[in-house]
Amino acid sequence: MKLQTPRFGEIDVDQAQIISFPSGVIGFPQVRQYVLLEDDKNAPFQWLQAVEDANLRFLVINPFLFRKDYEFEIPDPILEQIGAEKPEDVAVLAIVTIQPDTHRLTANLQGPVVVAGNTRIAKQLVLVSTPYHTRHDILEEMGVKMEAEPVSAGAAIEKP
């Protein structure tokens, strides 16, 4: 299947690569199929690219890369819904926002995306009674003070 993406141009998507979200990503319930794309220049960030809507994509990251202690419980009915037998079968992605005003890279740790490895069925959770929120500053969480960063990322954002 061919897919026209704004970032990578035309890409070939194998049916086996598709990750399905039976209830969509929150706020985008109609879009059910995505692929996870690697991006050499931006690794370890990846793109969750919608298959049905080429213009819809999310920058994502494995949250454990910057928060080793990140922790939440996946309720059994959710594991069942995505077809995972145990939590170890589940991959976790955090959706990243480049904040338009401050250009900071933030990750939504309150709404993690869980993907069952065996079925490739995914769901975005909303954590309740959790210390996590929707805007964790990724570089700050890594415990590094960067002066005037990420300016280079911010500079690439088009001003409206």
Partner 1 sequence: MLVLTRKSGESIRIGDEITVTVMEIRGKQVRLGIEAPAETTVHREEVYRRVQEENRLAATAPLRDIDSLGEIWRKVERKKNGRKGS
Please, what is the minimum distance in Å from the beta carbon of residue 54 to partner 1?
11
Please, what is the minimum distance in Å from the beta carbon of residue 64 to partner 1?
14
Listing DSSP states for 94-128 in one string gives EEEEE-TTT--EEEEEEEEEEEETTT-BEEE---S
What count of residues does the chain have?
160
52 binds partner 1 (CB under 8 A): no
Binding residue (CB under 8 A) for partner 1 from 15, 128, 131, 148: 128
Place of tokens 């709404």: 111
Place of tokens 């069942």: 80
Q: Is 53 helix (H, G, I), strand (E, B) or coil?
A: coil
Please, what is the minimum distance in Å from the beta carbon of residue 118 to partner 1?
19
Please, what is the minimum distance in Å from the beta carbon of residue 139 to partner 1?
6
Distances (CA, A) of 20 to 36, 63, 102: 11, 20, 33
6 binds partner 1 (CB under 8 A): yes
| Interface ranges with partner 1 (CB under 8 A) | 6-7, 25-28, 39-45, 56-59, 75-78, 80-81, 95-100, 105, 108, 110-111, 124, 126, 128, 134-135, 139, 142-144, 146, 149-150, 152-153, 156-158
